[in-house]
Every structure is written in C-alpha cells, then in structure tokens.
Amino acid sequence: MDVTISPGPVGGTVSAPPSKSYTHRAILAAGCGQRAVVADPLWSADTRATARAVEAFGGSIERRTDGALEIQGFDGGPTIPGDVIDCTNSGTTMRLVTAIAALADGTTVLTGDASLRSRPQGPLLDALSELGATARSTRGNGQAPLIVDGPMAGGTVSIPGDVSSQYVTALLFAGALTDAGVDLRLETELKSAPYVEVTRELLADFGVETRETTDGFAVEGGQSYRPADGTYAVPGDFSSISYLLAAGAVADGDVGGATAGTGEGTLEITGARPSAQGDSAIVEHVTEFGAPVEWDRDDGTLTIEPAPLSGIEVSVADTPDLLPTLAVLGAVADGETSIVDAEHVRYKETDRIDAMASELAKLGVETTEERDSLTVHGDESTLTGATVDGHGDHRIVMALAVAALVADGETTIRGAEHVDVSFPNFFDAFESLGVVIDRHE
C-alpha cells in the first residue's frame, strides 16, 4: 500500500498504542509459565510472530473480544517445534525465541524474511553454545536461518553489549528456566540499556528475579513465570508516541520551511504512563527542540502545541528507535541537529541512518551521514513534497509521514503497510487528528 499525505495542522486527542516491546516480552513470559492473561496487548505483525512461536513450543493463545490474550504456556519446558519457526521481520522475536529454543531437548530451526536474515545473531549463538546448547547459523555468517539444539544447562557467559541489548534480554528470559541460571558478563558497554530494564521490570512482574552485577546481569535458575493475579497489563508505547508528539510539535499548517510552529493547535496523547521505556526520553527531546510539552504522569496524558524549533545534539545510544523521529524534527528545526552514538541503528529492519538520509534528501533536506551519526541541516533545507520509500521499515514510514505534514505539496510514501509491525492503526490515528490521507495500491 502507498499513501499520499497532504500538509496541514493536527489537533485533538489520540490514544497511544500498547507497547510493542512489552507485548513481545509479556507473550513470551506467559508462554514460559502455566497460564496467564495479557491485557491491552499490541496485536501487530511482530507480536503475532512471537505468539506463533509460543504455540510452536507447545503453548496455546486465544484472543478475546476485548483484545486480551489468554495464554496456556508450556510451563518452562518448550517442546520441539513441528516445523521451522518463521519470525518474519521481527528481530525481537528471533532473539528471544532463539534462547528459548535452547531449553528444548532437541532441534529447533528459525528463519525470517530477507531483512531479518541479514541481522547479526552471532554473539547470541556463541553464548548459547557456551551455556551447553549447540547454536549455529546455517550459512556460517552469524545470520539466520539458525539451528539450535538443546537443552542448555546455564552457567557463566560473556557477550558484547554494543551490538544488541536483546541478547541480554534473551539470556535472562531463558536463564531463569535453566538448572544453573545464567551469570551474564558484558565485554563492552551496553547499548540500548533501557530495554534491559524493561525486561527486568516485566520479569519481576511475572515473579522472575534478576540482579545487576558489577560487570553485567544474573538470573537464578529454577524459577517460574507467574504474574500477580494471573494477569499482566501492557503499558503505552513511547516509540510510537514519538511520531504523535513530533506531529504535534511541527504541524500547524505552515509548510515548506524550518520555522513551523505558531502555537495555533493543541494535541493530546493519552496512554502515556511512565514505565522503564527509554524512548520516553522523546518528551525531553521535543522540549529541548523548543516545543512546549506538558506530561501528567498520573493521568498518562501528554499535551503539546506547535512551536518554532531549534536544532539540538542528542545521543541515541540507549534509544535507537528514536533516530527517525529526531531526524524529522531536525529537518523542521532552525540550525543543525546532530544525532550521535548511532552506529547500532544501522542494524535494524534497515540501515535507518542511510534510509533517513536518502529519503529526507528527496524531500529537500540536507544531511551529513557518518558511520556513527546523522547531522540534519535544518537551516539549509526546504521541505518539499515528493515520492519517498519506506524501506520496508515501520519506523521510516511513520517518520516520513510526520515530515509530510509540513512539506510544501503532497508526499507519497511507498510501502506504507509496514506500519502494521508496531502501530497498525497509525494512519487512522493521523486521520482522526485532521490529516488528509489518500490510500492506494
């Protein structure tokens, strides 16, 4: 599907979608236990991949009319899947499920689409092998398809921390179900650290205790996954909130330049309650750009008005998913915006640094791309409507949709259907705020 977006203001109230990160973890945690209900989940392409994996390991999932998931788990003992587990485009699914596969007494094969088969899995495979399983890439390049033979016993293992925090998450999840537990030592500084805190927070809610050590993390073995009262409620997603917040900051009807914002419209976002999500930093970043944001943390409501923006320097070491949003804010802002500590952003669904640089260029935005950073020259840019490509990446699509709100003329985004990965009703939400969108094949 392609969409064509007309520039214009936004206003009104919109609800944040449930968190993709928490939903993945909640589905898998419930699968690792006996029985649990996951309330308010994000039911998207990625989270459905995790649900299918739980079923492949012997669990069952029923989606109720209210959207909640009733999950019968495999109670710490995954069975051998009857077929290859296809993780489609979900990196979180592949990494977490690869570790769970190492608990099964036999062989599991995992694959995904072309994008996922290009993403690095080698450090996790090496770690699982050190812990007693046998895990390898069929092509010998550390990338899927993967073959995992278990069961693993647990123990002490070292991994790099600067490739993906999901390796840590995967080992903590599986380590709780081993005999010996896992003592995980980091060889390098941990990137995307808040995602590990999301994992530890959720594991605690399911009754699984972890601890931070002087050089990493540890989890005792022999634990059980049991949420209090048998139910876990998923919080709102700040990665998705970032696009709504950015739209509220830039879209006031002024188009084409780096001076959007006159304070004419107000956007309210509900479902923004505090959690361990690192991407909640977007609230601070938007404020630093110059847009007024009010956050009622008790009520979970964000209120924002458009305003003139000025460029900033921001690190995405812990918040890689925010880079596309920050790049668009930088395109609208006056002056330069430098997004640094970003090399790991190149290993997502696509190389998001390169993708944002190339697509913003089509819209008239000047950027400077380095291996570890992206600088956006807002003062040298005039946003002009064009046809752009979403690169098969939900976050690129949604960020470009925000840019389209202040471009001079219509913007067509190809491959817009990929928002289904994390925010299936994204374009419905935009339309509810007054955005004019034409959807076409």
CA 192 to each of CA 78, 209, 241: distance values in angstroms, whole numbers, following the listed order: 29, 21, 18
338 marked as part of a ligand binding site: no
Q: Is 20 labelled as part of a ligand binding site? A: yes
The answer to whether 334 is a known ligand-binding residue is: no
Asked if residue 348 belongs to a known ligand binding site, the reply is yes
CA 67 to chain CA mean position, Å = 21
Would you say 414 is a known binding-site residue? Answer: no
Do 312 and 337 contact (CB within 8 A), yes or no? Answer: yes
Conformation bin of residue 88: beta by default, left when phi > 0, alpha when psi is -120 to 50: left
User: Is position 137 annotated in a ligand binding site?
Assistant: no
Instruction: Exactly one of 46, 237, 321, 393 is catalytic; name it.
Output: 321
Q: Does the active-site annotation cover 149?
A: no
Distance CA 309, CA 313 (A): 13
Is 110 in contact with 144 (CB distance < 8 Å)?
A: yes
The reply to whether 352 sits in an annotated binding site is yes
Q: Is 166 annotated as a binding residue?
A: yes
How far is it, in rounded angstroms, from Cα 402 to Cα 84? Answer: 38
CB 157 within 8 A of CB 183: yes
Alpha carbons 55 and 73: distance in angstroms, whole number: 8
Q: Give me the residues paired with residue 129 across strands.
A: none
Q: Is 200 annotated as a binding residue?
A: no
Is 310 annotated to bind a ligand? Reply is no
Binding residues for 3-phosphoshikimate: 20-21, 25, 164-166, 192, 321, 348
Residues making up the binding site = 20-21, 25, 91, 119, 164-166, 192, 321, 348, 352, 395
Positions annotated as catalytic residues are 321
> Residue positions in the annotated binding site for phosphoenolpyruvate?
20, 91, 119, 166, 352, 395
